[in-house]
A and B are shown apart, each in its own frame.
Chain A
Amino acid sequence: MSPHQLTSHALLDLFKSRQITPAEAYADVVNRIKTIDPKVKAYVHMAQGEPDFNGAIPVPIAIKDNLCTKGEEITCASRILKGFRSPYDAGVIEKVKKSGGAILGIVNMDEFAFGSSCETSCYGPTFNPWDLKCVPGGSSGGSAAAVAADEAMWALGSDTGGSIRQPASFCGIVGLKPTYGRVSRYGLIAFASSLDQIGPLTKDVRDCALLMNIISGYDDRDSTSVNEPVPDYTKALVNDVRGLKIGIPKEAFVDGLDPEVRRAVEDALNLLKKLGAVIKEVSLPHTPYAVATYYIVATAEASSNLARFDGVRYGLRVQPKSVRKNALVDMYEETRSQGFGDEAKRRIMLGTYALSSGYYDAYYLRGQKVRTLIKNDLDEVFKDCDVIMTPTSPTVAFKVGEKLSDPLSMYLSDIYTIPANLAGIPAISVPCGFAKSGLPIGLQLMGKAFDEEMLLRVSYTYEQNTEWHLKKPNL
Chain B
Amino acid sequence: MSTFETVIGLEVHLQLSTKTKIFCSCANQYGCAPNTNVCPVCLGLPGTLPVLNHQALLFGIKVGLALNAEINSFIKFDRKNYYYPDLPKGYQISQFDFPVAKHGFLLIKSSGQEKRIGITRAHLEEDAGKLVHDNSGSCSLADFNRTGTPLIEIVTEPDLRSPQEAYDYLNTLKLTLQYLGVSDCDMEKGSLRCDANVSIRPIGQTSLGTKTELKNMNSFRAVKTALEYEVRRHEQVIASGGKVVQETLLWDDEKAQTRTMRSKEQAHDYRYFPDPDLVPFTIDYKIIDGVRAELPELPQAKFLRFLSQYGLSEYDANILVADGGMADFFEAALKEYPQAKKIANWLGGPVLMELNNRKAPLAELKISPKELVALIDKVEQGVISNLVGKEVLTFMLDEGKSADEIIKAKGLAQVSDDSALLVIIDEVIAQNPAVVEQIKSGKPNAAGFLVGQAMKKSGGRANPKKLNELITRRITGV
Contact = CB atoms under 8 A, between A and B. Distances in A.
A234 interface: no
B85 A314 contact: no
B180 interface: no
Interface of A: 66-68, 74, 76, 81, 84, 86-88, 90, 185-190, 192-194, 220-224, 300-301, 303-304, 306-310, 312-314, 328, 332, 352, 355-357, 360, 364
Which among B52, B89, B91, B273 has the greatest number of chain A C-beta atoms within 10 A?
Answer: B273
A68 B47 contact: yes
A307 B46 contact: no
Contact of A86 (B47, B51, B85): B47
B90 A307 contact: yes
Interface string B69-113: 000000000010101010011110000000000000000000000
The B interface is mostly helix, strand or loop, or mixed, namely loop
B278 A360 contact: no
B51 A356 contact: no
Contacts of A194: 276
Given A190-B47, A308-B89, A309-B90, 13 more contacts: A86-B46, A90-B47, A190-B277, A223-B277, A223-B278, A223-B279, A307-B83, A308-B44, A310-B83, A310-B85, A313-B44, A313-B88, A355-B273
B273 A87 contact: no
A220 B81 CA distance: 26
A221 B42 CA distance: 13
B256 to A, nearest CB: 27
A314 B40 CA distance: 12
B90 A310 contact: yes
Given A220-B51, A313-B88, A360 B277 contact: no
Q: Across chains A and B, which 4 residue pairs bring their CB atoms closest together, nearest first?
A: A307-B90, A194-B276, A193-B276, A355-B271
Contacts of B40: 87-88
Contacts of A355: 81, 271-273
Interface of B: 40-41, 43-52, 79, 81, 83, 85, 88-91, 142, 269, 271-273, 276-279
A187 B278 CA distance: 15
Contacts, number: 101
A437 to B, nearest CB: 38
A68 B49 CA distance: 13
Contacts of A188: 47
Nearest to A224: B279
Contacts of A187: 47-48
A364 B272 CA distance: 11
B276 A301 contact: yes
B46 A312 contact: no
Contacts of B88: 308, 312-313
Nearest to A336: B83
A20 B269 CA distance: 61
A189 B46 contact: yes
Contacts of A328: 85
A188 B49 CA distance: 9
B90 A313 contact: no
A186 B272 CA distance: 23
Nearest to A355: B271
Contacts of B50: 223
A192 B279 CA distance: 14
Given A301-B276, A364-B273, A332 B83 contact: yes
B44 to A, nearest CB: 5
Contacts of B272: 355, 360
A44 to B, nearest CB: 16
Given A304-B81, A313-B88, A221 B49 contact: yes
A224 B51 CA distance: 9
A304 B49 contact: no
A282 B271 CA distance: 39
A352 to B, nearest CB: 7
A251 B48 CA distance: 38
B269 A357 contact: yes
B46 A81 contact: yes
Nearest to A188: B47
Given A307-B91, A308-B90, A357-B271, A222 B49 contact: yes
Contacts of A76: 46
A186 B47 CA distance: 6
Contacts of B41: 221
Nearest to B24: A221
Given A352-B271, A357-B269, A357-B271, A221 B276 contact: no
Nearest to A368: B274
